[in-house]
Homo-oligomer: A and B are copies of this chain.
Amino acid sequence: MQPGNPAVDTADVSALLERGRTLSTPVLRAAVDRLAPPMDTVAAYHFGWIDAHGNPTDADSGKAVRPALALMSAEAAGAAPEVGIPGAVAVELVHNFSLLHDDLMDGDEQRRHRDTVWKVHGPAQAILVGDALSALANEMLLELGTVEAGRATRRLTTANRKLIDGQAQDISYEHRERVTVEECLEMEGNKTGALLACAASIGAVLAGCDDRTADKLEEYGYHLGLAFQAVDDLLGIWGDPEATGKQTWSDLRQRKKSLPVVAALAAGGPASERLGALLAADAKSTDFDTFSEEEFATRAALIEEAGGREWTSQEARRQHAVAIAALNEVDMPARVRDQFAALADFVVVRKR
């Protein structure tokens, strides 16, 4: 498969994402309403349901790939998509717990074109509401009171732990001069792969599938996550700020050792060496914060020249292929398999 290939039926993927959002959002909102004030308001702000003054808004609430996956996952196990709803909501809650905490730890001031929670409501609320969403996720599932819900909670907890491991790695890598491509992939697998793995299997687990099916669906989701993250890393440097809602050269400004950077540094050759020397100097620079657009553009050009951009593009396609291979090992209705494949295609060609 090639990104941009006509096999990607964008209309179809939009419908899947829309269905995930439509079926899960009311349940998500009801769950968030259970939070004690002011946490309910802070969470509603984070999800883009209200603005900083408490007025209802219709802000961009993200792509909703995870809820879509959770519902498709229930269908993969022969159940109605609705069976996956509590899983979709629980995964979204854990995802947003990690966004709230990560934005605070990373000092990120913007997300989805809006000020982050810690910026608007302060660090304590960001910590607290993150904690509350994480606990709520388990509560939602365990309230179902079934053996399947217990299994789903266990898988979600494992994903939650990996998210935390990934964030720990991300933070520690920022202080290191060199990070290997393998370390970067491991970190991204933890930060992005683990929860998409859980999303892709949780509906089937709730529908009572066997462990092998759940594991294979997790494998699909994990590699989909790595493809997703490779694309995210490309967008973090070369993305259109209008589309991504992030600053230009966003990841470079944060000195992120993302895949294109790490791959460019590992490539060797003159551009790679010049990049390495520049980034090493940047790490010690006291006026990094006042760098101009041109300075970041120079670094981006070196990353591209050293092959980091092309390598990351190819990596997205490699991970995509592994995801599809895992999918093909699970017995499921052909229509559902096609939907999983279309979603994987979408992840690789997206612009935001």
Task: Given the known inter-chain contacts A136-B161, A139-B157, A153-B138, please indicate yes or no for A168 contacting B104, CB distance below 8 A.
Answer: no
**Inter-chain contact B168/A139, CB cutoff 8 Å:** no
Which of A20-28, A124-132, A287-295, A338-346 makes up part of the contact surface? A124-132
Q: Which of A114-150 contact B (CB under 8 A)?
A: 123-124, 127-128, 130-132, 134-136, 138-139, 142-143, 145, 147, 149-150
Q: How large is the interface on A (under 10, 10 to 19, 20 to 34, 35 or more residues)?
A: 35 or more
Task: From the candidates B128, B138, B164, B168, name the one contacting A164 in the complex (CB within 8 A).
Answer: B128
**CB proximity of A205 to chain B, nearest CB, Å:** 13
Task: Given the known inter-chain contacts A147-B147, A158-B139, please indicate yes or no for A127 contacting B105, CB distance below 8 A.
Answer: yes
Q: Which residues of B contact A169 (CB under 8 A)?
A: 36
Contact mask for chain A residues 88-101; partner B; CB cutoff 8 A; 1 contact, 0 none: 00000000010001
**Inter-chain contact B134/A167, CB cutoff 8 Å:** no
**CB proximity of A143 to chain B, nearest CB, Å:** 7
**Inter-chain contact A160/B142, CB cutoff 8 Å:** no
**Inter-chain contact A168/B38, CB cutoff 8 Å:** yes
A172 on the B face (CB < 8 A):
yes
Task: From the candidates B128, B149, B167, name the one contacting A171 in the complex (CB within 8 A).
Answer: B128
Docked complex Cα distance between A154 and B149 (Å): 11
**Inter-chain contact B128/A167, CB cutoff 8 Å:** yes
Docked complex Cα distance between A39 and B37 (Å): 31
Q: How many subunits of this chain does the assembly comprise? A: 2
Q: Which residues of B contact A109 (CB under 8 A)?
A: none
A82 on the B face (CB < 8 A):
no
Q: Which residues of B contact A138 (CB under 8 A)?
A: 138, 153, 157
A315 on the B face (CB < 8 A):
no
Q: Which residues of B contact A130 (CB under 8 A)?
A: 131
**CB proximity of A156 to chain B, nearest CB, Å:** 9
Task: From the candidates B135, B142, B158, name the one contacting A150 in the complex (CB within 8 A).
Answer: B142
**CB proximity of A36 to chain B, nearest CB, Å:** 5
A159 to B, closest residue via Cβ: B135
A165 on the B face (CB < 8 A):
yes
Docked complex Cα distance between A169 and B165 (Å): 30
Task: From the candidates B124, B143, B161, B165, name the one contacting A139 in the complex (CB within 8 A).
Answer: B161
**Inter-chain contact A132/B36, CB cutoff 8 Å:** no
Docked complex Cα distance between A150 and B147 (Å): 8
**Inter-chain contact B104/A165, CB cutoff 8 Å:** no
Task: From the candidates B136, B149, B153, B164, name the one contacting A131 in the complex (CB within 8 A).
Answer: B164
Sorted nearest first, the 7 A-B pairs with minimum C-beta distance are: A150-B150, A142-B154, A105-B124, A36-B165, A135-B160, A138-B157, A135-B161
